[in-house]
Every structure is written in structure tokens, then in C-alpha cells.
Amino acid sequence: MLRVGIAGFGKMGQIRAAAIDASGWARVQQIFSPDAASETKYKLADSIDDLVTSPDIDAIFVCLPNYLNAPTTIAALQNGKHVFCEKPPALSAAEMRDIMAAEQAASTILMYGFNHRHHEAVIKIKEIVDSATFGRILWMRGRYGKSVDGDYLKTWRAQKPLAGGGILLDQGIHMLDLFLYLSGEPFDEIKAMISNLYWKTPGIEDNVFAMMRNNKTGLCASLHSTMTQWRHLFSLEIFLERGYLVLNGLKTSSNTYGDEILTIAKNRSTAPAATWEDEDRLHFSVDTSWNSEIDQFFASITQGTPVSKGSSAQALAVMQLVDAIYLNERHEAAELRSELTAFV
């Protein structure tokens, strides 16, 4: 069995440990977490470095604050470890390219935790899109929101140097990844607005609005990711030439995003107008994404199969989008201020 080390044992580290224990592929050899309970059943490492250099560990799971993801991943790769890292993969596309250079030199498996690709509703959407049953995608719209309280401001997620950004890197990155995954197309035009009107934390946006387009095909997508939703919400809409796919809700252990329901229907471009009964609804009541990710990662290690969901190339593509959104918002805001000043 593969021997695993987990760097970081907060919520995600614990989720990964449970999935590893249940997988039959591996065992958790050691963990590192300064906050780990002394009664944990896993052996505690004294430092991250102890994990990445240990000869008794084959693979490292990186479940750390964002700013540590890239350096820990690179160190683990340089020590010959297979690496599974949570999102965001890095704080910028430039950091991601440094990681990929280390990956190429190491010749070990590197995978990222974009678990939304592994949700059963998303798998069904991908099957339908790839079948071309409804033709090509015309546009997509994603909304991903949650509520946070004042305690959020006490965590590393509310500190720009540690988090790298706000809700875009925390949640919106998943929706961006789904846009790329489901459409199979890059976006070369970005328009974005970012704000922190409520929490007013410097460098930590609580809302991001982004529009993107592939100018070759014309496919457009819009994203709204927010931490002032005051309720948890997940909604992904995909409209194609001959129909539409709407996913509302996302099955999680806490069930805070509600039931995972996929609506499928043919288009309604001819009269008389169709009724709600013309839609098919599929309910997905179990979240299998965590186990699916673990199976893919360990299969890639033991069987040599490529990483198809969460590869470094896919991580680079989504980080390029993240960079573009942040850069566009800053550029457009500065340009607008200049124009308004000139007008006054």
C-alpha cells in the first residue's frame, strides 16, 4: 500500500484522510499540523519538511493555507514524492509554471483538488455536452455564493499575504475550472469588477463579477462569486443550440448547498411555449467526489494512467483566468477613474 503524508490537518486534511483510509489504496503514514489534537490516531511530524523529505512516505497531500501550496508542492516533487494539492494550486500563473518545471524534472504524479469535476451531476453534464446531442454550447452562467461571519476575519483566509485573494480564489476558481472543463475552450477576453463593500478587508474581495469570451467561437460565460450571499448557493447554467442543462445545488456533507439537481431540456425556440413538464430532473443524493479524486490519484501512481481531472496543465489554465480577472479589474478601474477625472 502507498504511504501518505498529509501536510495540514484542518477540515480538508481530515476529509482527505477519511477518503484515503476508505480507499484501500493507501494508508496515512504521518501528518503535520500545528493544531492537530494530541489524541489523533495518526503519527505527527514535527514540520512540513519532515514530511516531504521522509523516506517512509510515497505521496504528499497538501492541505495548507494558500501561500504554502506552491513551495510545499515544489519541495515534495523535488524529493521524489507524488503530490495531491488542494486549490488554489498557486497564487499566480507564474508560480504555477514554476511548479510545472519541478513536476517535469521529478517525473512523479501531480494532481489538484478540483473536486467539482468529480460530482456526478457534472459528470453527466460533460457526457451530454461531449455527445453533441444538444449541439454546441452558446453561453454559460455560474453563481457561487456563501455567507461568512466575523470569525472569518480572524482566519488566514482574510489576510492577503496568506490567502492571495478573496472569494475568487476561495470559491470562484471552482466555477472557472468548470467553465474550462465543460466547454473545452479557453477565454481570451475578460471583463471584471471586484468589490469588498461589506467586509472591507484590503485585498480580500467579497464579490467578483466576471464576463469572459472566446473570440474565435463566440462562446461567452459569466461568473458571480460572493461571500455576501447570506445563504449558500450553487448554480451552473449551460445553454446549447438545441437545449439546456441547469445544475442547482451541490451535494456536500453539510448539505448547505441543498440537493444536487440537474435539469435537462430541449430548446423552446418554437411556439407554443413549452411547460415545466418538458424538463427532466435528475437528483444526485450522494457526494462521491472525494472518493473519485482519491481513486484517480492513486490509479495514476500505481497504473500510470494520466491525470484527466486536476492536471497541472488544467491548473495553469484556471490560474491564467484568475490572473486575467484580477488584472482586468485593476486596469479597467484605473482607466475609468482617468476618464472620469478628464470629464469633470
The rounded distance, in Å, linking the Cα atoms of 302 and 23 is: 14
So what's the pLDDT on residue 343?
A: 43
Q: Residue 197: how many CA atoms within 13 Å on its side-chain side?
A: 8
297 touches 264 (CB < 8 A): no
Grid cell of 28 as nine digits: 496515512
Backbone angles phi, psi at 2, to 5 degrees: -70, 145
Backbone angles phi, psi at 263, to 5 degrees: -100, 130
Give the mean pLDDT of the chain: 92
So what's the pLDDT on residue 342?
A: 47
Q: Which domains does the chain have, with CATH numbers?
A: 2-115 (3.40.50.720), 120-250+252-285 (3.30.360.10)
Please state, as a whole number, how many other Cβ atoms lie within 10 Å of the Cβ of residue 337.
10
So what's the pLDDT on residue 270?
A: 60
So what's the pLDDT on residue 153?
A: 86
234 touches 153 (CB < 8 A): no
Strands lying side by side in the sheet with 243-248:
189-195, 207-213, 220-226, 137-147, 228-240, 243-248, 260-266, 280-284
The tens place of each residue's pLDDT in the chain, 344 residues long, gives 999 999 999 999 999 999 999 999 999 999 998 876 556 789 999 999 999 999 999 999 999 999 999 999 999 999 999 999 999 999 999 999 999 999 999 989 999 999 999 999 999 999 999 999 999 999 999 999 999 988 988 999 999 999 999 999 999 999 999 999 999 999 999 999 999 999 999 999 999 999 999 999 999 999 999 999 999 999 999 999 999 999 999 999 888 999 999 999 988 656 555 555 678 999 999 999 999 999 999 999 999 999 999 999 999 999 999 999 999 877 665 554 444 444 44
